[in-house]
C-alpha cells in the first residue's frame, strides 16, 4: 500500500479531525455502494479505508510514524457490500418500481423482454397460494454451533424433523427448512419452517467472528520457564508451547484452531490469553519468595505513576 498520508491527502502533522474530514470527503465520492459496477471507485475506497484505519488509530499511527509497521494493514473492504445483493434478484426487495407512475419498465422496449420482467412481478401472486412460514427456536450448546450438529425437532403437530446446524452457526442465525411450514392453499406449495438458533455460552470458550478466545491458566513455573501445556480447543485438546517469560495477558495464537472452515469462510484461530495462577498456599513458594531479590528492578505500577 502507498503512503496513507498521500492517499488521504493530508500532511504528516494532520490532526485526528483533519484525517477524519479527509476520509469522509473521499468516502462520500468513492463508496462502492454509491458507485456500483465501478471497480476503480471500489479500489480507491479500499485504499482510503485502509489508510483511515491506520491513521485514525493513534497507536497504529504512532507505530507507522516510527517505522515499526508498514502501511500494509488489513484493507477493510466495506462489510457485506450492499451492491452485491442489490444488483441481483434479492434487490427486488427494495424495488421502487411500484412507486413510479408507469415507469419505463412497464412499457416501451422493456416489453421486448417482457416475460423476463413479468416473471419477476408475478411472484407476488404465487406467494399468496403458498403456505405460511412457521417460526421455531432451538437452543444449542456452544460447541455444537461451532462444529455443527444435527438436532431432532418435534413440531407441535407431532411431526419430527432433523435440523442440521451447519458448522460456524452464530447465535440468532435462522435455519430454513423448505416445505416444512404451513400447508399451501389453492394447490400452492407449503411454507418453510424457520428455526432460530440460540447458542448457550460456553464455560471457557467465547467466539469473536471466526476466532475462539479462552483464558488459559498457567502455573508460575510455566510462565517463567516456558514449556508445553495442553489447551482445550473446539476440535479437542492440543499441546501448545508457552514461551519462557510469558506473563498474564500474553496471547498465544493457534492458527486454524478456532471455528472450523465452513462455506467460503476459512478456519479461524484459537486465541489463548495466559493467566498466571499461584495455586493454593505453598510453604516452599513462601520461603523462596522471602529469599528472592530481583537482579533487575521492576515496578509493575510505573505506568500509573505518570498519570494524574
Partner 1 sequence: MISQQGLLAQLPRLPQQDLERWIAFEWVRADGVPGRYIFQEIDVARVRLILELRDELEVNEAALPVVLLLLDQLYDLRRQMLVLQQGVGSGAGV
Residues within the interface to partner 1 (CB under 8 A): 24, 27-28, 31, 33-34, 36-37, 78-88, 90-97, 105, 110, 112-113, 116-117, 133, 135, 170-174, 176, 194, 196
Closest approach of partner 1 to the CB of residue 86, in Å: 4
SS3 for 279-293 is: CCCCHHHHHHHHHCC
Comparing CB distances to partner 1, the nearer of 248 and 265 is 265
Length of the chain: 308
Closest approach of partner 1 to the CB of residue 87, in Å: 6
- Residue 130 near residue 184 (C-beta atoms within 8 A): yes
Closest approach of partner 1 to the CB of residue 283, in Å: 48
Comparing CB distances to partner 1, the nearer of 174 and 287 is 174
**For strand 238-242 and strand 227-231, is the pairing parallel, antiparallel, or unpaired?**
antiparallel
Residues 6+ apart with CB under 8 A from 126: 188
Comparing CB distances to partner 1, the nearer of 82 and 204 is 82
Closest approach of partner 1 to the CB of residue 198, in Å: 9
Among residues 203, 300, 211, which one has the least CA distance to residue 251?
Answer: 211
Comparing CB distances to partner 1, the nearer of 31 and 61 is 31
Comparing CB distances to partner 1, the nearer of 108 and 158 is 108
Comparing CB distances to partner 1, the nearer of 199 and 267 is 199
Q: How many CB atoms lie within 10 A of CB 217?
A: 15
Residues 6+ apart with CB under 8 A from 251: 271, 272, 273, 274
Closest approach of partner 1 to the CB of residue 110, in Å: 7
Closest approach of partner 1 to the CB of residue 44, in Å: 15
In Å, how far are 151, 171, 197 from 138, measured between CA atoms? 9, 10, 5
Q: What b-and-e string marks burial along 152-188, b requiring 16 or more CB atoms within 10 Å of the CB?
A: eeeeeeeeeeebebebbbeeeeebebeebbeeeeeee
Amino acid at each position: 500500500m502507498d503512503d496513507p498520508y498521500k492517499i488521504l491527502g493530508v500532511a504528516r502533522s494532520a490532526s485526528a479531525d483533519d484525517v477524519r474530514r479527509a476520509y469522509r470527503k473521499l468516502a462520500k465520492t468513492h463508496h462502492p455502494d454509491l458507485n456500483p459496477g465501478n471497480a476503480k471507485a471500489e479500489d480507491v475506497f479500499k485504499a482510503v479505508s485502509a489508510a483511515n484505519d491506520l491513521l485514525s488509530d493513534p497507536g497504529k499511527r504512532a507505530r507507522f510514524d516510527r517505522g515499526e509497521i508498514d502501511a500494509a494493514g488489513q484493507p477493510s473492504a466495506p462489510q457485506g457490500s450492499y451492491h452485491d445483493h442489490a444488483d441481483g434478484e434479492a434487490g427486488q426487495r427494495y424495488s421502487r418500481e411500484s412507486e413510479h407512475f408507469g415507469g419505463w419498465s412497464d412499457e416501451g422496449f422493456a416489453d421486448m423482454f417482457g416475460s423476463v420482467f413479468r416473471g419477476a412481478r408475478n411472484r407476488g401472486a404465487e406467494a399468496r397460494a403458498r403456505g405460511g412460514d412457521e417460526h421455531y427456536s432451538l437452543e444449542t450448546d456452544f460447541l455444537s454451533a461451532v462444529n455443527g450438529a444435527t438436532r431432532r425437532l418435534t413440531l407441535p403437530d407431532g411431526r419430527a424433523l432433523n435440523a442440521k446446524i451447519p458448522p460456524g452457526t452464530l447465535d440468532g442465525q435462522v435455519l430454513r427448512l423448505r416445505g416444512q411450514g404451513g400447508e399451501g392453499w389453492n394447490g400452492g406449495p407449503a411454507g418453510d419452517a424457520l428455526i432460530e438458533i440460540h447458542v448457550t455460552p460456553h464455560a471457557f470458550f467465547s467466539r469473536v467472528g471466526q476466532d475462539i478466545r479462552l483464558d488459559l491458566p498457567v502455573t508460575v513455573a510455566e510462565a517463567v520457564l516456558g514449556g508445553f501445556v495442553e489447551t482445550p480447543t473446539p476440535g479437542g485438546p492440543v499441546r501448545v508451547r508457552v514461551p519462557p517469560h510469558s506473563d498474564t495477558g500474553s496471547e498465544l495464537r493457534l492458527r486454524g484452531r478456532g471455528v472450523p472452515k465452513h462455506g467460503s469462510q476459512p478456519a479461524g484461530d484459537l486465541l489463548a490469553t495466559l493467566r498466571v495462577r499461584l495455586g493454593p498456599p505453598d510453604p516452599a513458594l513462601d520461603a523462596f519468595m522471602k529469599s528472592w531479590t530481583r537482579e533487575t528492578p521492576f515496578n509493575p505500577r510505573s505506568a500509573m505513576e505518570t498519570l494524574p
